Structure 1
């Protein structure tokens, strides 16, 4: 039975860091301004308010990140309902201590 609140798989920032060397798809669902202030190098900016229109070919897992983990969870639920294999990144950029692109270092 389909559940509206079906669980979305989550991983920690540390787990995400170990996957960045792989060919993963990472969506940053923060606003473009937040994204420009600093984002993970592989991250593609698709703001939460545009996630409903997002389309991706293939069945590759989609990792979703935001600032704290709240918006990414919402985005992940929307993407899961569309049939994508989605993984939410808990803690978001607030907990990220790796390299970032953009912003002030």
Structure 2
């Protein structure tokens, strides 16, 4: 019985760790680094916050595709161009990065700290 508790504890730790570990192949940048990236017209800038959050404030140049819709809308993005994703704090954009990589995107960049760090 105690053995099962260790297995359960290990699985819980693994589940939590996976939520915080960056996706393999995803570049992370700071909001300061983002300022230089915004000038690059060859990149796609995606804000994965809700429509309400996006309408309240967003960084010019970013297109809104809420995280819960991203998997269904990856066909609207070019796999040939880098995708830069942002959210409020960096958690949802990290999840979005994983979705994009699993969908076959090779060049994905996550903005650490999100819009909160940008302001």
After TM superposition, the score normalised by the length of structure 2 is: 0.74
Give me the CA root mean square deviation: 1.2
Which ranges in structure 1 are unaligned for 5 or more consecutive residues? Answer: 98-105
Structure with the greater alpha carbon radius of gyration:
2
1:101 alignment counterpart? none
Alignment: residue pair count: 93
Question: Relative contact order (C-alpha < 8 Å, sep 6+): which is higher?
Answer: 1
Residue correspondence of structure 1 range 26-45 to structure 2 within 5 A: 26-45=45-64
Please give the per-residue CA displacement for 1:8-53, whole angstroms capped at 9, x wherever unaligned.
Answer: 2111111111111111211000000000011011000000000111
1:56-88, CA deviations, whole angstroms, 9 ceiling, x for partnerless residues?
A: 234110000000000000001000111112111
User: TM-score when scaled to structure 1?
Assistant: 0.83
Between Structure 1 and Structure 2, which shows a larger proportion of helix residues?
Answer: 2
Segments of 4+ in structure 1 off by > 6 A? none
CA distance in 2, matches of 1:7, 1:60: 15
